[in-house]
Each structure stands twice: as structure tokens, then as C-alpha cells.
Amino acid sequence: MNSELIVEMLSIRKVYPDGTVALRGVDFEVRKGEIHGLLGENGAGKTTLMKILSGLLPLTEGEIRIQGKPVQLRSTMEGLKAGIGIVHQHFALVPPFTALQNIFLGEEGGGPLSPLKLEEARKKVGSLIEKVGLKVPLDTPVESLPVGVQQRAEILKILYRNAEILILDEPTASLTPLEVDELFQILRALKKEGKTIVFITHKLKEVLEITDRITVLRNGKVTGKLPTKLATPDKLAVMMIGKKVVPGEIKKAKALGQPVLIVKDLVVKNDLDIPIVNGVSFKVRSGEIFGIAGVEGNGQSELVQAITGLRTIEKGEIRINGVEISRKNPVELYRMGLAHIPEDKRKLGLILDFDVAENSILGLHKEPKFSGRVGYLNWKKVYSYAIGLIERFGVITPSIMTNAKSLSGGNQQRLVAARELSKPSSLIVAAHPTRGLDVAATHYIRELLIEMRDVGKAVLLISADLDEVTLLSDRIAVMYEGKFIGLGRPSEFNRRDLGLMMGGVKAV
Amino acid sequence: MSSLTESFSKAVKPITEGVFAIGIGLFVGALLMLVWGFDPLRAYLELFRGAFFGKFQMATTLSYATPYILTGITFAIGQRAGLFNIGGEGQVYMGAIAAVAAGTYALPTSVHLLVTVIFSMLAGAAWALPPAVLKVTRGVHEVVSTVMLNWTCVFLCRYLAMGPLVDPNSAEKTISVLPSSRFPILLSGSELTAAIFASVVFAVVVYIILWHTAIGYEIRAVGLNPDAARYGGISPLRSTILAFMLGGFAAGLAGASQVIGRPPTWAIYGTLANITNLGFDGIAVALIGRNHPLGAIIAAIFFGGLYTGSRYMQMYARVPVEIVRALHGIIILAVAIPGLLDIIKKWWEKRRGK
């Protein structure tokens, strides 16, 4: 076994300019010629770590050694010079250019007027293709190629630049199962050629199938390093999710009422016109919190958008209080009793250049109490309503005339929660309601959701934070690739099961 | 009352920015004059004297400002709704043509003016409708569609003004509108008519719509963040069309003001001289007025003053009118650089700190 270390990253710390600590002293080593799995949940720091390795992001503290030599990578160019290439989750191809032109782009050499040496490039690319079996039609515009083939073009692109270490960020995220198999064959061929590969994923099955060794990250720290031979889905799930016992006693729902939200065989497409919610059915009753866990990108966002009137329903139906909602717009839904704390509070929940008072009536601006019958806004009433909101929910702002932009992230979120939870509602859809909040604010929002449940509202909670979902929910579903891979009471699952399901392995 | 000071400081910032931009324009303009050997102090004195000091000067300035207020609003509403509506030019033409058509049509005296005004506003809005519909149904960018429609208007108007609507007794203009359709002259011997009141009232109405009604709230929400607006149950399509229509009304009225509010001809010139470029100058007015209808009033009066005063500047300080045009350009540039004031403020604080 060749055990020469080709990459060593020592005590890497990364603090983003906004103060977010992404990596808290990570040691990461890759051996020459191996396929190394980098496993972790969203926000664990996988992508940040690899962006640092490829030169895309500067590190805050720590050291990187390539083949034993300390290096300082200030750009992806320098990363490539050191032999490191990265294929991002979202490709960087020029759509109308052919694969060959894309591969050649940036490697023209010579002066601005020297003729393009495309034919030489074609030869070099051709021999690369032969060596590793990366079949790509070189003369078709990449925009008309399937995603899997575009990805191969990306891989060719970095091979063409003589990368020895290939980093693939969630390479299977947008691939069909067949394409995944093909990708794995290519990766094995590349390994045979002596290339080193870092494979970033949150999918347990894949990491077990393709890698030689695995490093697990959680919350910016390494929680496990092991050869794949010694890994089991259980072990990895615990490393990825943590063993922490759910804190605090959970006041479970007392009396369940009528179903408020009924979702039946729902199919929803994403922006690329690909079905991303694939036949989901569930009910949320009044007086219960229904939690949906799962790694992001498995269809949760689109599910929420369909329920809240922001995305068209492809198949199936959604009923709120018995009424079918496929043709309703958000205002009609609010009037039917929906409150929606959106996933992206800054982009969707607030208009940042509106002041606090204006934001406090977004969606309520047509209510007769604010705009009467003719639509003339009564600012006095709006102001007193806004003052009521910020006092009751503890939103810290210099004044209600301050633009939402100037509030801190936590207070922006409080403002959205304040507005939505103050609506007269029977169904609350809360998407990642505590993301990015400090401990106190998190606790506050969670208490509110429990309070809402206890007064008989139905709460649909979507969160990538497993602790939050298990703590608050009366029932839990785990979403994986557009379907519920598991559904039941929190007591029926332990963390290991949940971790397995989030990674796509059905626990029995 | 921190909310009062807050709203006060919110209002002050755009005003200081506007004033600052004008200051830069005047300063660079002075440098230009020095380079060409003119006396900038003298020139500016004549400029402001000619624009604002004296009954007739002021009246002329206001008569110039009348259409600028409206075309400024056309662009400003678009901006508030997230649109770059440069179709004001064509919509002005349509308003003017409609004013000639309605103003030469014999109607009862009591309603003739009102009918003509409404007809012109509708004509302006009708010309704004195709870009609006194309935008919301097919995603056609409003810059492309409005520019094309502007040119259509130029040739259509030329044809109408020199053909069907030409004055048989004086071929350089269209038929003059009937006295019953005209805005009353406010100061005899000047060009100022009651159209200025229509213009100001329209600006105030737009202000009320934008900041005191649910519809205006929706338009502004869509302009700032269409996704959040949709989340808030607002239809971006509806708000877009509304913004185009309001802008069309304003531009149509601007066109009318150049016919039924413009002595002594009360007509469109065959060269279209009295309606050309009003829509485009409105963009500058909106920029200086910070896309606010009340700001547009002030900016329009300033612009009107520049035009009026430049004649005096030319006559008494012998400064060519081109320098005044350059002045306009520099002021617009100074306004258009976003946050210029912030940058200079920071620089100043840093300097003072050291």
C-alpha cells in the first residue's frame, strides 16, 4: 500500500468575514492515489475545507502541505499549479461553447493575436479520453449535453490542466443512478492512472462504495477518520450526526384535532423542470408539530413552496382546512389561515429596503384594518401594529422607521417570526426557523412554536437541524431524494436511524 | 421621538445628494468656463438671475418645468417598480397628438379641457401598454420595446403633424387647438399656463399612491424585491402593468401640456421641436429627484431654470449654450454615481481623523 501523504492540511481554521466560524481546527490528510471520502451534513464545513485546498478561499489559520512542502494558495490558478483541481457542484462551463472549447478556455497560451492551437488541444484531450474512458463528444455545445456528460467535461478540463488531485463537490447531487455508476467507473479508472481524488458527499452508500478512506466532519471539526473497510453505515451516521442525547424534556402534544394540512401524492418540479418532490403524502393535525428532517436539497424547499402557493403543483393535491389550494395565491392562503416563516428570511421574508413598519405588514397590507376598503394605508395603525410586534417579540431596532437592512440577522429573523406568528392562522409552515440564530433567540423561537401548537395550531417544521426536529416534533418524517424515507414518532427512531435515513439508507 | 428624527434623516439624505450633485456640476462647469476664458461667477450670476429673479423669468422657468415634472415621474415610477421605462418620449408624442385631436374637436366649453386632458393621458397610457404586456407575458425587456416604440412614434407624429393635422394656413405647425380646450394663461405675455397646476397635482397624487395606498406599497415592494413581494401575496405582473400605466398617464399629460398649455401656438411644430427630448430629459429629472415625485418637482424647476437662464448667460456673459448642456451632463453623471456622497464622506472623515 502506497501511503505517501500527498495533501496535509494542519489545524485549519476558517472564520468568514461576517464572523461565522466554518472550520475549528481541522486536520485532513489524503494519501497519494486514493479516493478519499469527505462526509458531513450541510454546514459541516466540507465545501469550505475544499475551497481552501483549491485556493478559492483564504484560510484564517493553519498550514497546507502538498507532497510534504508547505504551500500558500492564493488563487485557483496557484491551486492548479500545485496540481489541485476542483469540480464544483454547479459547473463552470460556457454553455454555447463545445466541450473542446470549454476545456481549452484559459489555456490558449501565446499573445492576444496568436492563432488558436485547437487541434493540438484536441490531440491531448483525445489521449486523455482514451486513457480514462471519459467519453465526451468534443464538438457539441455543452448546453445540449446531459448533466452527467457536462460533468465529465469538467473533469476533463481539470485533467487537461495536469491536476493530480481532483476534488469533486457533491458530484452525484444532480446525476441519475445510471450516471452515478458511470461516474464511479471513471473515478476507478482515474485512480488506476495514479490520480488522487477527494469525494465530497453526505450520502453514506456512495462513500462506502467508492472510497478508500473517509474523513467525517461535523460542525467544523473532524469527528472521524477511518479506512472504508472498517466503516459501517451505523458508525458513519453517528460520526456525522453526533451522539448527543436530545436535551430537555419535550412537552408533547396533548390533544390532536382535525387534520389542517393534507398532502397527497404530491409531485413538484424544481427550476430545472426535474421532479424533485416525488409522491409525498402526509397530514398535519391541529395541535401537533410535524417535523421534516433531511439533508438540504432533497426536495424540502420545493415542498414548502408548493404548500405556500409559491410553486405550481405537478401532480397530487394539497388541502388546507379541507380546501384544495392548487390555484390559490399566497394572499388567499393567508386568508385561509396559513402563516409562513420562509427558508430565506432575508430574500423572501423581508424587503430589506423597506423599514420595519412596512415589513411588518407584508402580506397583511390589504387587510381592511390597515388599508380600509379603498386601499388607503392608515400609517398610524401600521405604526402601532409594528410597535406592538417589536415589543412583544423583542425585536431590537433603533426605530420602526429603520430599514430592515440595518437590523442584525437575528433581529431580521425575529421580525419575520413576529409577523408570521401574529397572524390569525391555523397552519404554520416554519422552514429552518432558527438557522443562524444565537442560543437565546433559538430557544425563544422554539418556545413560540410549542406555544402555537398548544393553542391548537398545526405546525409544519422543516429543518436541517436534527436536534431541532427531534426536540420539537410530535411526528417526524425524513426526506431523501424527494420522498419520505421514514415517518413516525420521534421515540420510534434513535439518532442512528435518523442519520442513516438522512444518508439514504433505510433503517429497519 | 427617534422615529421622527429617523424619518427626517431619511428624507434629508436624498436631498443632500441631489444638492451635492448639482454642486459638482456647477463646479466642473465653472472649470470648463475658465478653460475657455469665460468668467464663471458672472455667468452663474446671469444664469440664476435669468432663471429665477423676476416675474417673467420665474414664469418661463415654471413653464419649462411643467412637462419635466411629468416625464420625470414617468421614469421615477418605473424605477420604483423595478423597471427601466424609457418609453416616456414616445408616450409624450402620443399625448401631444391626442391633445391636438381632442383640442380641435368642438366640444362644450365646460368639459373641453378636461376631456382633452383625459384623452391625452389615455393615449400616453395606451402607448405604454404594449411594452407592459410584452414584459409580463413574454419577458421582453422594457428598454428594447420602449426604444422601438419611441421611434415608431417619431415617424407617426411627423406624418400626422405634417399630413392630416397640418395647419392649412401655416404649414410649419399643426392646427391650433380651440380656446375652450386650452389651459388658462397665468401671466399674460409669458408662456406659463395652469398646466403647471395639473402637473404638480399629478405629482402629489402619485406621491399619495406610492406611499399611502396598498397599490403603491405593492409597486414599491415589487421594485425592491419581487420574490419577497410574491411571498407577500403581491402579483408582480399587476404591479408592473400599473406602473407602466401610471407612467403613461404622466407622459401623456406632459405631451398635452405642450399643446393645450403652450402659448402662443397651441399646437405641435412640424419639426416636433416643442415635444422632442422631454421624455429623455425626464430621466435626468428623475435621477436628480431621486425617483421621488416631489423630488421631481424640485429637479424639474431646476432644469427649467437652467434652460431659461442659459439664454441670459449667453446674452450677457457670452457663454455659449453648449457649456450649459455640458453642465446638465456633468450634473447627471454626478447623480448617477451611486453612493458618491458616501465615498466622499468617508474620505473626508478619514482625512479629518488623521
The nearest alpha carbon in chain A to B208 belongs to A376
pLDDT in tens, B123-140: 999 999 999 999 999 889
Nearest CB partner across the interface for B3, out of A365, A366, A399: A399
**Which residues in chain B are closer than 8 Å to A352, comparing Cβ atoms?**
224-225
**Phi/psi class of residue A409: alpha, beta or left (left: φ > 0; alpha: ψ in -120 to 50)?**
alpha
pLDDT value for A246: 44
Percent of chain A with pLDDT over 70: 95
**B225 CB within 8 Å of a chain A CB:** yes
- Residue B194 pLDDT exceeds 90: yes
Interval A275-292: pLDDT, tens = 899 999 999 999 999 999
Give yes or no for residue B1 having a pLDDT over 50: no
d(CA B46, CA B38): 13
Write the pLDDT tens digit of every residue in A214-257.
999 988 899 999 999 999 888 888 888 775 544 455 566 677 88
3-state secondary structure of A309: coil
CATH label, B18-346, candidates 3.30.420, 1.10.3470, 3.40.1130, 1.10.287: 1.10.3470
The dihedral built from the CA positions of residue A194, A198, A199 and A205, taken in this order, carries a sign that is: positive
Whether the predicted pLDDT of A488 surpasses 70: yes
Residues of A in contact with B230 (CB under 8 A): 310, 330
The pLDDT of residue A33 is above 50: yes
Strand ranges of the sheet holding A483-488, from the earlier edge strand across to the other edge: A338-341, A427-431, A458-462, A289-293, A475-480, A483-488
CB contact under 8 A, B228 and A350: yes
Residue B213 contacts A, CB cutoff 8 Å = yes
pLDDT at B39: 87
Calpha distance A485→A483 (Å, rounded): 6
Least confident of A266-270, A303-307, B6-10, B337-341: B337-341
Q: If you search the block for the grid coordinates 415589487, which residue do you land on?
A: B222
CB contact under 8 A, A401 and B10: yes
CA angle, A356 then A360 then A363, to 5°:
140
Cα B263 to Cα B96: distance, rounded to the nearest angstrom: 14
How far apart are alpha carbons B114 and B116 in whole angstroms?
Answer: 5
Which one of B213, B215, B232 has the shortest CB-CB distance to A363? B232
What confidence score (pLDDT) does residue B222 get?
95
Q: Which amino acid is at A106?
A: G
Residue contacts between A and B (CB atoms, under 8 Å): 80
Query: What is the number of alpha carbons within 13 Å of residue B346 lying toward its C-beta?
Result: 4
**Other beta carbons less than 10 A from residue A441's beta carbon:** 19
Q: What share of chain A is helix, strand, coil (3-state, %, to 5)?
A: 35, 25, 40
Most confident stretch, A38-42, B172-176, B250-254: B250-254
Percent of chain B predicted with pLDDT > 70: 92
Q: What is the pLDDT of residue A438?
A: 65
The amino acid sitting at B201 is V
Residues of B in contact with A377 (CB under 8 A): 212-214, 217
Mean pLDDT to the nearest integer, B255-269: 93
Cβ neighbours of residue A386 under 8 Å, at least 6 residues apart? Answer: A356, A357, A360, A361, A400
Q: Where is A7: in which H helix or E strand?
A: strand A5-15
Quote the DSSP letter at residue B213: B
How do the domains of chain B map onto residue ranges? Answer: 18-346
Residue B275 cell numbers, joined: 415635444
Q: What is the pLDDT of residues A74-106, one digit of tens each?
A: 888 899 999 999 998 778 889 889 999 998 888
Opening angle at CA B86, ends B58 and B235, nearest 5 = 115
Task: Say yes or no: B6 contacts chain A, CB-CB below 8 A.
Answer: yes
Residue pair A203/A191 in contact by the 8 Å Cβ criterion: no
CB contact under 8 A, B215 and A375: yes
> Is A329's Cβ below 8 Å from some Cβ in B?
yes
Distance from CA of A342 to the nearest CA of B (A): 9
Cβ neighbours of A332 in B, within 8 Å: 233
For A401, the closest of B7, B214, B220 (CB atoms) is: B7
Separation between Cα atoms, residue A445 and residue A450, nearest integer Å: 9
Q: Which residues contact B118 (CB under 8 A, 6 or more apart)?
A: none
User: To 10 degrees, what angle do helices B109-138 and B236-257 make?
Assistant: 140
Of A255-264, B174-183, B324-333, where does mean pLDDT reach its minimum? Answer: B324-333
Tell me the residue type at A25: G
Of A310, A351, A398, the CB nearest to B225: A351
Give the integer Cα–Cα distance in Å for A187 and A405: 46
Mutation choice for A interface testing from B1, B2, B3, B239 by most A CBs within 10 A: B3
Angle between helices B2-35 and B340-353 in degrees, nearest 10: 90
Burial of A142 (0-12, 13-18, 19+ CB in 10 A): buried
**Is B169 an interface residue toward A (CB < 8 Å)?**
no
A358-372 pLDDT, tens per residue? Answer: 999 999 998 899 998
pLDDT at A411: 84
Q: Please report which confidence band the pLDDT of residue A374 belongs to, taking 50, 70 and 90 as the band edges.
A: confident
* pTM of the predicted protein model: 0.77
- Residues on chain B touching A310 (C-beta within 8 angstroms): 230-231
**Mutation site for B-interface testing, chosen from A336, A356, A361, A365 by largest number of B Cβ within 10 Å:** A365
Nearest chain B residue (CA) to A344:
B228
Point out the residue among A334, A342, A400 whose CB comes nearest to the CB of B3.
Answer: A400
What is the nearest CA distance from B184 to chain A, expressed in angstroms?
33
Q: Is A480's Cβ below 8 Å from some Cβ in B?
A: no
| Grid cell of B50 as nine digits | 435669468
| Strands annotated E in A380-488 | 427-431, 458-462, 475-480, 483-488
| Contact: A363, B10; criterion CB under 8 Å | no
**pLDDT in the model for residue B6:** 60
- Answer whether A368 touches B (CB < 8 Å): no
pLDDT by residue (tens digit) across A133-181? 888 898 989 888 888 888 899 999 999 999 999 999 988 876 777 788 8
State how far the Cα of A249 lies from the Cα of A263, in Å rounded to an integer.
30
- B217 in A contact zone (CB under 8 Å): yes
C-alpha cell at A98: 463545445
Cβ–Cβ under 8 Å, residues A424 and A337 = yes
Q: For position B322, what pLDDT does the model report?
A: 82
ipTM of the complex: 0.84
Work out the mean pLDDT of chain B and round it to a whole number.
88
* A399 in reach of chain B (CB within 8 A): yes
A365 vs B214: CB contact, 8 Å cut-off?
yes
Give the nearest partner residue to B221 out of A347, A351, A401, using CB atoms.
A351
Contact B44, B28 (CB under 8 A): no
Task: Look at B233 and A340 and tell me if their CB atoms are within 8 Å.
Answer: no
How do residues B2-36 score in pLDDT, each as one tens digit?
455 666 666 777 777 778 777 888 888 888 888 88
pLDDT exceeds cutoff 80 at B52: yes
**Other beta carbons within 10 Å of A474:** 20
Summary mean pLDDT of chain A? 87
A323 interfacial to chain B (CB closer than 8 Å): no
